[in-house]
Structure 1
Amino acid sequence: MATPLTADALLAALRAEGLNVVEVGDWREHNRNHKGAWGPVHGVIVHHTVTSGTKDSVDICYDGYDELPGPLCHGVIDKDGTVHLISAGRANHAGSGDGRVLDAVVHEASAPGPGSDDTDGNARFYGFECVNLGDGEDPWPAAQLEAIERASAALCRAHGWSSASVIGHKEWTATKIDPAGFSMADMRGRIASRLGTTPGGPTEPPAEGGGDPAPAVTAYTVRRGDTLYGIAESHATTTARLADLNDLDEPDVLRPGQELRVPAPGNDHEPFPGAGFFRGAPDSPVVTAMGRRLVEEGCSAYAEGPGPRWSEADRRSYAAWQRKLGFTGSDADGWPGRNSWDALKVPRS
């Protein structure tokens, strides 16, 4: 629970997170506060616009339409990652949703699937509309996904929230499908990692132990006969991660002499994604990779699996690992911490 940020504080938080922000019209006073409460706020909802083009998307989110007057969100995130601020007050973005979901967000716990629409979300959530057709085929450029991550992290940081405070519209109400085209569980993992850094810093947390950390990425020059799969395998990563790092529209087409960004040597383990990542009950390959390492270490409480969805079996297994390292009491409650995570050495997934 928190008092909504003032317009100045909202703008400052976004820019401090390294975002390019455009102020649209009289966004500071452009709101629906006369129609109902604005605050206390509890989290962030991510949407897609079902439109294309930056100007048209910003215009419709600013003005709205006959059935739904604007503003339709607080900020529009375009394809190149720019955030267009259109409101600092109540906006018509969330509509009615499930009060049980709101309760889960308030307690930063795993949210149930939405059912009844009995609670006003416009009063309780910030909203970002992201330019995308929402058909599952319109791409999400790396710059846009990073901006969603940064914008969400900026508000979480400003209010002291974890990544569990960020949900998709489809997680708020069963009447919506947005955002379509990427996983909100994975996005919460990215936000959790960013919250472990200083504002505007790199996505991955700095190395422990002092000194200069190894760079997260390095350059690789494509040679004749190279494939993206082969390059990914030789750098302990995946083709999807390489495509994301390099914004590859055609990942099957590589040219000799082409320079790619690849994970740097010694960067072959998953960085600690943050405690909030796990409390959000993620569905992620990171959880599977973690479970396999726990099994290898003789710390399995699994009847079956491990699998990608965080479960009570994962928590019990991780508690066994913490006890193996010598942790006791609340330090061995099964919720991963940075020290135990780094010691587990979970391979990149």
Structure 2
Amino acid sequence: MRRTALFAMLAAIGALLVGLPGRMAVAQEWPDKPVHIVVPFPPGIMDLTARVIAQPLSEKFGKPFIIDNRPGAGGNIGTAAGAKAASDGYTIVLSSSGPLTNNRYLYQSMPYDSLRDLTPIIMIGEIPLVIAAHPNVKANNLKELIALAHARPGQITAGSPGTGTNSHLTIELFKKMSKTDMLHVPLKGAMATLTYVMAGNVDTAWALIPDYVKQIEAGKVKALAIATRKRIPLVSNVPTALEQGIDIVSGAWFALMGPAGLPRPIVDKINQEVNRYLSSAAGRDRFTKIGVQVEGGAPEIVTEKIKADLALWKPVIDKLGLKPR
């Protein structure tokens, strides 16, 4: 029995060693054709971020990096496409904190496990959340919004890019903290949320700041608060929620991921080039202008962040009483 087990173990090791040179060769030749970056949301800040990252990658490796938008189910559909892709490096996904963490507690059935079925490549950065309103809404700050919601329970609408997004959770947390009854309206992505609040189809929009800057400056929407610890240069005249007595700091982080089994040499190639761009003056300037606070670093940072957020959001979701869809 022991001899049989030993032979089986040696055979398995031999098979791995035989396959190793082939995998290394594939990794060294990568890429020899276009690479697809799946974005699990409609056009918006995630799409723009993917395009910013794709340009230096295309220039470095001499092959097109093509953006493939696959929205739906709070980012689960596109993230699942990345998880189920072949582990050859030709399909990767730019996913975010929603589908990588809190969606686990908001959907009854998840098509992937973010720790088991995906390979982290690099943390790109984080974007703060803005609380905006249609100009006709009779509130210019959070205190006035709370008073309005108390006066009209269940009637003030709060649009978000979708169920399970950080925007949605922030709405629910705000409702709990302010003891208000606002109606959550889940929409299909950031641009849909912006379109709805500009048209007055929702009273308020809770979404990532970059999509709203131009509309705030043009007076088409008004910013009531930014969910950061300190004001940000992009909208320096907008007060934080903390300044207004609401202890909410929220946003969304996003990372490049590959399917499970993605060869480490390919991971390292992408990681090194994206890190180079993020640390360059051009890269930092480009992302600052669109409201992204860059991160970068080793792939393991993404794994640590996923684990931390899974631990963070579960008690929040349980306390809010949100039920899986």
What TM-score results when the alignment is normalised by the length of structure 2?
0.24
User: Which structure has the greater CA radius of gyration?
Assistant: 2
What TM-score results when the alignment is normalised by the length of structure 1?
0.23
Q: Which structure: greater strand fraction?
A: 2
Structure number with higher relative contact order (C-alpha < 8 Å, ≥ 6 residues apart): 2
Q: Which structure: greater helix fraction?
A: 2
